[in-house]
């Protein structure tokens, strides 16, 4: 699912960049000043869309990186000798003794 989402975000980013490039070319051909180009509402909107997609792509990359690290940890845990794992479980069990109080019977 993540790779499909990442791919669609990349395609959208490319689309917005093309539209922005075309809009900037159109405005510069008309001889509009660069200050007015920066204030153009469509240019602002397209730049905001590109910026938002960049943020989403960074978040997707962070999630993928985290998933890779978790997968490595899982493999290391699976490959660890069983004695080490049993020792860890025994220590945890000994550290937390649970006492149960007996309930008084009603007369």
| Start-to-end Cα distance in the chain | 63
Q: What is the pLDDT of residues 38-94, one digit of tens each?
A: 999 999 999 999 999 999 999 999 999 999 999 999 998 888 776 665 665 555 555
pLDDT of res. 56: 96
DSSP 30-64: TT--HHHHHH-HHHHHHHHHHHHHHHHHHHHHHHH
% of the chain with per-residue pLDDT over 90: 64
Q: What is the pLDDT of residues 12-27, one digit of tens each?
A: 999 999 999 999 999 9
Using CA atoms, how far apart are residues 27 and 83, in angstroms rounded to an integer? 71
Q: What is the pLDDT of residues 25-50, one digit of tens each?
A: 999 999 999 999 999 999 999 999 99
For the chain, the structural domain boundaries read 2-95
Exposed/middle/buried for residue 47 (C-beta within 10 Å: 0-12, 13-18, 19+): middle
Mean model confidence pLDDT for the chain: 85
């Amino acid at each position: 699912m993540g790779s499909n989402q990442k791919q669609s975000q990349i395609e959208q980013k490319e689309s917005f960049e093309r539209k922005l490039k075309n809009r900037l070319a159109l405005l510069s051909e008309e001889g509009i000043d660069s200050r007015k180009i920066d204030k153009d509402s469509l240019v602002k909107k397209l730049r905001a869309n590109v910026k938002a997609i960049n943020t989403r792509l960074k978040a997707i990359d962070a999630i993928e990186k985290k998933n890779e690290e978790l997968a490595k940890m899982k493999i290391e845990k699976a490959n660890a000798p069983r004695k080490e794992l049993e020792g860890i479980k025994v220590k945890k069990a000994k550290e937390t003794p649970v006492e149960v109080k007996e309930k008084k019977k009603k007369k």
